[in-house]
Amino acid sequence: MLMPETKKIAVIGAGISGMAAAIQLADSGTEVSLFEKNTSFGGRGQAFQKEGFFFDMGPSWYWMPDVFEDFFNEFGRKTSDYFDLVRLDPSYQILYKNDRLVVPSNIEETYKLFESIEPGSAVFLKKFLHQAKLKYETGMKEFVRKPSLSWFEYFDLRLLKAAFQIELFKSFEKSIFNHIKDYRLRQLVCFPVLFLGAKPADTPALYSLMNYADLILGSWYPMGGMHKLFEALYHLALEKGVNFHFNSSVEKINIVNGKVTGLQIKNQSHTFDAILSAADYHHTETVLIDPPYRQYSNAYWESRKLSPSALIFYLGISKKLDSLLHHNLFFKSDFNQHAESIYDYPAWPEDPLFYVCVPSKTDASVAPAGMENVFILIPLAAGLQDSKKEQDRLFTFAIDHLEKHTGQSILEHIVVNEQMSISDFYSAYHSFKGNAYGLSNTLMQTAVFKPRIRSKKVKGLYFAGQLSHPGPGLPPCLISGQISAIQLLKDMNL
């Protein structure tokens, strides 16, 4: 009896979505080859070491731990097989012009904090988080797991009802500003949607599920660094038999008569039955595919609202710093002005908000003894031209703020100083306009409105990653890789 032939699938990109897809595909018995242009895995979650410091280059917030746990459980593993996860307490601090809010990990303490600032606000927050929990459960367990290829997937009465319950059509800002007046509390509640790359006024209220993730599920950290998560995915993929090919930039996806036949690397063709590209969607469509097979026009891409790019400083400091926690949000400047410079009138911000992560506050392994590992991130409009002058100005701006805040000299204690900016996102990841976090999650870029996970024009071609459904962030990208792989397997009857 003839055995059915093992299908050969290629995955492009060893970021979180590519590795999740590869694991899912290999687990179903296909032969998976994963091609990555860089020297190692992780994509935006790459890391580097210098002078005894270990720097995560991208993500630093480990939110929605249940999503990662569920993923590993599906393959008979636990995250604890690979790393130790600790919950941060306090979760983070927000520094305003004249004071600060330290956000506790215990929700009862958070209610007390709200009430002490604005009487009555805790009652609102309780109700708001109850709603947010429903949204999280419906949104993260059901909506995001649909392939979102057609609205018909949602034409189930229960889900339609849920769409109204989760306030898909109401603005996030409205759902809060009517009830909370204090600007500090407003910013605390609005900050998680900034992760989603849009102003709160343009974000559907659905995304208050992020507040549930923040205030109830908490901020976690894998000891050893965020990179431990990527290492875990890499090892699970190896266990499943995925063949990794690093330093392998895919140059072209070969298509014959509307069907994928393979891909081209270093001018050599390789044959595959299907391809799942988890590289930046825009790059795949505009560089790897011939024009007749592209689904989206240039005008389409130009009209997309992108979440920000970022200017990042990775600093090794040769002493301990006071008054900083693991996560610190410097919200000392005008929130709206900075948001406008990102979304409305792209420009280098005069007086930006910024974020400082000091993982050495939790984890001694990421800096030499007595030193501090400091990551500074300033959100910028995607597509801006890099400017050494502006980068230097913002470096001085951030260091001045840090010195004032800590009351310590920092500049002369910098022993490692590496930077990443807009054009580096393009050269490192082929990122569209140098975006850091993909497309903004506005209503018109949610679900079916996102670039599709299955090509409309090419049989055997699938997509995953932060420019696709369900969107940016580690948990959504993990899910994106998985649902795209599941769709591929279903279409191929595997």
Ligand X SMILES: Cc1cc2nc3c(=O)[nH]c(=O)nc-3n(C[C@H](O)[C@H](O)[C@H](O)COP(=O)(O)OP(=O)(O)OC[C@H]3O[C@@H](n4cnc5c(N)ncnc54)[C@H](O)[C@@H]3O)c2cc1C
Residues that bind ligand X (CB under 6 A): 12-18, 35-38, 43-45, 58-61, 63, 249-250, 278-280, 283, 310, 312, 377, 429-430, 436-438, 465-466, 472-474, 477
Q: How far is the C-alpha of 84 from the C-alpha of 80, rounded, in Å?
A: 6
Q: How far is the C-alpha of 192 from the C-alpha of 103, rounded, in Å?
A: 13
The residue (of 88 and 250) whose beta carbon lies closer to ligand X is 250
The residue (of 45 and 460) whose beta carbon lies closer to ligand X is 45
**Least gap, CB of 125 to ligand X (angstroms):** 23
The residue (of 162 and 366) whose beta carbon lies closer to ligand X is 366
The residue (of 13 and 460) whose beta carbon lies closer to ligand X is 13
**Least gap, CB of 92 to ligand X (angstroms):** 11
Write down how long the chain is: 494
**Least gap, CB of 56 to ligand X (angstroms):** 9
**Least gap, CB of 464 to ligand X (angstroms):** 7
The residue (of 63 and 71) whose beta carbon lies closer to ligand X is 63
**CB count, 10 Å around CB of 394?**
22
**CA within 13 Å, CB half, 391:** 17
The residue (of 188 and 478) whose beta carbon lies closer to ligand X is 478
**Least gap, CB of 319 to ligand X (angstroms):** 25
Instruction: Map tokens 């900050």 to a residue.
Output: 191
The residue (of 273 and 285) whose beta carbon lies closer to ligand X is 285
**Least gap, CB of 164 to ligand X (angstroms):** 28
The residue (of 44 and 179) whose beta carbon lies closer to ligand X is 44
Q: Residue 165 has which token pair? A: 């319950």
The residue (of 21 and 205) whose beta carbon lies closer to ligand X is 21
**Least gap, CB of 465 to ligand X (angstroms):** 3
The residue (of 53 and 463) whose beta carbon lies closer to ligand X is 463
Q: Cα separations (Å) of 21 from 75, 139, 244, 489?
A: 13, 21, 13, 11
238-243 contacts at long range (C-beta below 8 A, 24 or more positions apart):
240/22, 240/23, 240/26, 240/27, 240/32, 240/75, 241/26, 241/31, 241/32, 242/11, 242/19, 242/22, 242/23, 242/26, 242/32, 242/33, 242/34, 243/31, 243/32, 243/33, 243/34
CB 359 within 8 A of CB 295: no
The residue (of 36 and 363) whose beta carbon lies closer to ligand X is 36
Please calculate the CA angle 443-184-193 and round it to the nearest 5 degrees.
Answer: 20
CB 268 within 8 A of CB 252: no
**Least gap, CB of 217 to ligand X (angstroms):** 13
**Least gap, CB of 15 to ligand X (angstroms):** 2
Q: 308 preceded by cis ω (within 30°)?
A: no
Q: How far is the C-alpha of 61 from the C-alpha of 458, rounded, in Å?
A: 36
Q: Cα separations (Å) of 61 from 147, 221, 226, 352, 400?
A: 26, 7, 8, 20, 25
**Least gap, CB of 98 to ligand X (angstroms):** 27
Strands 372-380 and 309-317: antiparallel
**Least gap, CB of 160 to ligand X (angstroms):** 29
